[in-house]
Amino acid sequence: MSSLVVGSIALDTVETPYGRVEEALGGTAVYFSIAASVFTDVKIVGVVGHDFPDGHVTALERRGCDLEGLQRQEGRTFRWVGSYDENMNVAHTLDTQLNVFESFRPELPLSYRRSRTLFLGNIDPELQLDVLEQTSAPTITALDTMNFWIERKREALEEVVRRVDVVLVNEEEARQFAGVYHIAEAARRIRAYGPHSVVIKRGEYGAVMFTDDCYFALPAFPSDEVRDTTGAGDSFAGGFLGYLDTVDTIDSRELRCALAFGTVMASFTVENFSILGLQEAILPQIESRYEALRELTAIEPARVRLAAVQKGA
C-alpha cells in the first residue's frame, strides 16, 4: 500500500496576526505527505530548485516519504508570499514565483505506478491527466483544483474530473466549477461527471461530503489557537487519502472515517506555521482528537428524547 501525491513543493513566506515565517517549507505535496505518512507510505512527485534546503529534504525523509519522484532542477524553488487577516479562511496572495514549477512535467518512477491511492494536487489539469496516464488503476484517485484552472483549462479539467473517484475542493471552487450556489446541487452536478464522492472543504466551518448513498458533514476541530491556515486543505487531503490507503474496502462508512481523519490532520496544521504543528502530531494525539470530534458531533436518539414531549403538532 502506498499513497502517491503530485503537487507543489514550496518555500512559503506567510504573515498572519499571530506571526510570520520566511521561506518556510510548504506546498501541496509537502502538507499532504506529512499528514498521509501517519497512516501509510507516501510517494512524492514534485520539483524543487537548486536552492531547496537539504534540511527540508531530510524532514520529508524522516517521515518515510519516497522521494524518487522528486525532481531537482536548475533554477529557484517555487515561492509563495501571502498573508491572512483575522479571517483565516481567506489567503491574500502577495507574490507568486513559479520558478522551476512553471515547466514542471511529472514523471512517475516505475515503482510509483502501482500506488493504491493517488492525490492530484492543484496543478494544471493537463499534467493531472498525464499523471493519471502513468498510473495503473489506483483504488482511489482524488483531485483538487482552483479558480485559475476552472477559468482557463475548463475542458482538460472536466476530463480529469470524469476520471477521478473523488473531487476534493473548497466551497468556492465547487460552486464555480458547477455553476450553481446551492452546495448540494453543486455536488450533484460534479458527481454527474463521474466521481463517486465530492468532498467540499469549508475552512473553519469544516467539511461536507456527498457520496453515492449519503451526505455527511463535519465541523472543523475546535483548535484553541489558529495561527496559520496555509496547508490546511492539503493536510486534510493527506489524512483523508492516507487513511483510505489502509482500508480494505472503501465504502461510505470508511469515507466518513477518512473525512474525520482529514479534519483532525488539518487541525494540527492550522495551529502553527508551516509544517510545525503537523509534524509534531503523533498517533495518540490524532486518535484523541478523532474521539473528541466524534463526541462533539454526537446527538442522542430522537425517540428517547421525544418521549418526553407532551404535545403533538
Can you give the binding site for its own copies, defined by CB under 8 A?
Answer: 1, 37-41, 64, 86-87, 181-184, 202, 204-206, 208, 214-219, 222, 224-226, 243, 246-248, 253-254, 256-257, 260, 281-283, 286-287, 290-291, 293-303, 305-306, 308-313
CB of 292 to its own copies, least distance (A): 9
Q: Closer to its own copies by CB, 20 or 62: give it.
A: 62
Q: Closer to its own copies by CB, 74 or 86: give it.
A: 86
CB of 291 to its own copies, least distance (A): 5
Do the bridges between strand 92-97 and strand 78-83 make them parallel or antiparallel, or are there none, so unpaired? Answer: antiparallel
Q: Closer to its own copies by CB, 133 or 225: give it.
A: 225
Q: How far is CA 181 from CA 10, 48, 175, 193, 256, in A?
A: 32, 38, 5, 18, 24
CB of 34 to its own copies, least distance (A): 10
Q: Closer to its own copies by CB, 102 or 251: give it.
A: 251
CB of 307 to its own copies, least distance (A): 10
CB of 47 to its own copies, least distance (A): 27
CB of 257 to its own copies, least distance (A): 5
CB of 49 to its own copies, least distance (A): 29
**Which residues have C-beta within 8 Å of that of residue 133, sequence separation ≥ 6?**
none
Q: Closer to its own copies by CB, 99 or 115: give it.
A: 115
CB of 263 to its own copies, least distance (A): 10
- Extract the C-alpha cell encoding 234: 492539503
Q: Closer to its own copies by CB, 100 or 207: give it.
A: 207
Q: Closer to its own copies by CB, 67 or 257: give it.
A: 257
Q: Closer to its own copies by CB, 39 or 101: give it.
A: 39
DSSP per position, the chain: -EEEEE---EEEEEEETTEEEEEEEESHHHHHHHHHTTTSEEEEEEEE-TT--HHHHHHHHHTT-EEEEEEE-SSPPEEEEEE--S-TT--EEEEEE-GGGGG------GGGTT-SEEEE-SS-HHHHHHHHHHS---SEEEE---HHHHHH-HHHHHHHHHH-SEEEEEHHHHHHHHT-SSHHHHHHHHHTTS-SEEEEE-GGG-EEEEETTEEEEEPPP--S-----TTHHHHHHHHHHHHHTT-SS--HHHHHHHHHHHHHHHHHHHTSSTTHHHHH--HHHHHHHHHHHHHTT----HHHHHTT-----
